[in-house]
């Protein structure tokens, strides 16, 4: 399927959700917005908040970031994909359409958001996506052992410097040779900018690309 047709299918569904008045009760284990300055304890416990479905749907990957994902993933043609941060399931849906022969494992901390993602996957009739519910640090250890080697990892959740660096170091040994790790929102906060600089300074890659909002390393 051509990319224009895929975009039309996915964005039509997103537009539908953005015009609904549903309010979703969310457990947010991430860093919140850059002004919140959540502590590590805050993030472990999670923050219970209510969010408009329209807001959740709008935050999913689209536009230039979606094209960056498309260009990387279609050239790589990964068989095993790991995603941290499912949200409403639009990025995993795009990846499923882009590389339909892949197996996608995606983790979402909030059960109610995970339910929305699963509903969207069913709406698109995508059968190669498995959604896991729970904090990344709880779900990852067992999942990494189960699904490695990983060809493509998309880190798009938590948005905290120390957490991002932890996931980078944790996932790296389970990546396949020639695999790619893509980090979203690398300019989202000073902490995320620092995390991306430390990843680049690690030199644990063959090459890297800075897309301003996203950063990728080839292993």
What confidence tens digit (pLDDT) does each residue in 122-169 have?
999 999 999 999 999 899 999 999 999 999 999 998 788 999 999 999
pLDDT of residue 36: 52
85 vs 38 pLDDT, higher one? 85
Q: Which CATH number fits domain 59-218: 3.40.50.300, 3.40.50.1820, 3.30.70.360, 3.40.50.150?
A: 3.40.50.150
pTM: 0.90
Question: Mean per-residue pLDDT for 175-198?
Answer: 96
Tell me how far apart the alpha carbons of residues 135 and 52 are, in angstroms, rounded to a whole number: 22
What 193-196 contacts at long range (C-beta under 8 Å, 24+ apart), as own/partner pairs, is 194/161, 195/161, 195/162, 195/164, 195/165, 195/168
What is the average pLDDT across 99-106?
98
Q: And the tokens for 31?
A: 């860093």
Residue 67 pLDDT greater than 90, yes or no? yes
Q: What is the CA radius of gyration of the chain?
A: 16
Question: What is the per-residue pLDDT for 159?
Answer: 83
Per DSSP, the residues of 61-111 read: S-HHHHHHHHHHHHHH--SEEEEE--TTSHHHHHHHHHSTTSEEEEEES-H
The domains of the chain are located at: 7-56, 59-218
DSSP designation for 33:
S
Local confidence band at 10 (pLDDT 50, 70, 90 cut-offs) = very high
- DSSP annotation of 6: H
The answer on pLDDT for 14 being more than 60 is: yes
**Phi and psi of 130, rounded to 5°?**
-115, 125
Handedness of CA 82, 155, 38, 41 (dihedral sign): positive
Model confidence band, residue 178 (pLDDT cutoffs 50, 70, 90): very high
pLDDT tens, residue by residue, 22-58: 999 987 665 455 555 555 654 555 667 788 999 999 9
Residue 59 has a pLDDT of 86
Nearest Cα neighbor of 214 from 180, 189, 184 is 184
Using alpha carbons, list the distances in angstroms from residue 40 to 37, 45, 46, 160, 187.
Answer: 10, 9, 10, 9, 20
SS3 192: helix
Better-scored residue on pLDDT, 128 or 60? 128
Q: Which residues pair with 26 in a beta bridge?
A: 49
Query: Looking at the predicted structure, is the pLDDT value of residue 5 above 60?
Result: yes
Whole-number mean pLDDT of the chain? 91
Q: Which of 31-40, 94-103, 208-217 has the lowest mean pLDDT?
A: 31-40
For residue 149, cis peptide bond before it (omega within 30 degrees of 0): yes
The pLDDT of residue 44 is 55
Region 56-80: mean pLDDT is: 95
Segment 85-92 mean pLDDT: 96
């Amino acid at each position: 399927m051509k990319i224009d047709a895929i975009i039309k299918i996915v964005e039509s569904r997103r537009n539908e959700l953005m015009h609904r008045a549903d309010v979703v009760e969310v457990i947010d284990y991430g860093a919140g917005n850059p002004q919140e300055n959540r502590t590590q304890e805050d993030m472990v416990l999670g923050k219970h908040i209510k969010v408009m479905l329209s807001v959740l749907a709008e935050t999913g990957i689209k536009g230039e970031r979606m094209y960056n994902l498309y260009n990387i993933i279609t050239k790589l043609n990964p068989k095993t994909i790991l995603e941290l941060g499912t949200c409403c399931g639009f990025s995993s849906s795009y990846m499923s359409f882009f590389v339909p022969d892949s197996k996608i494992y995606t983790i979402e901390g909030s059960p109610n958001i995970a339910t929305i993602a699963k509903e969207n996957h069913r709406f698109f009739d995508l059968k190669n996506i498995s959604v896991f519910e729970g904090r990344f640090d709880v779900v990852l250890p067992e999942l990494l052992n189960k699904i490695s080697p990983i060809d493509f990892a998309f880190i798009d959740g938590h948005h905290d410097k120390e957490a991002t660096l932890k996931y980078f170091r944790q996932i790296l040994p389970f990546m396949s040779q020639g695999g790619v790790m893509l980090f979203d929102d690398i300019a989202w906060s000073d902490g995320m900018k620092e995390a991306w600089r430390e990843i680049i300074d690690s030199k644990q890659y063959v090459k890297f690309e800075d897309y301003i909002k996203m950063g990728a390393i080839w292993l």
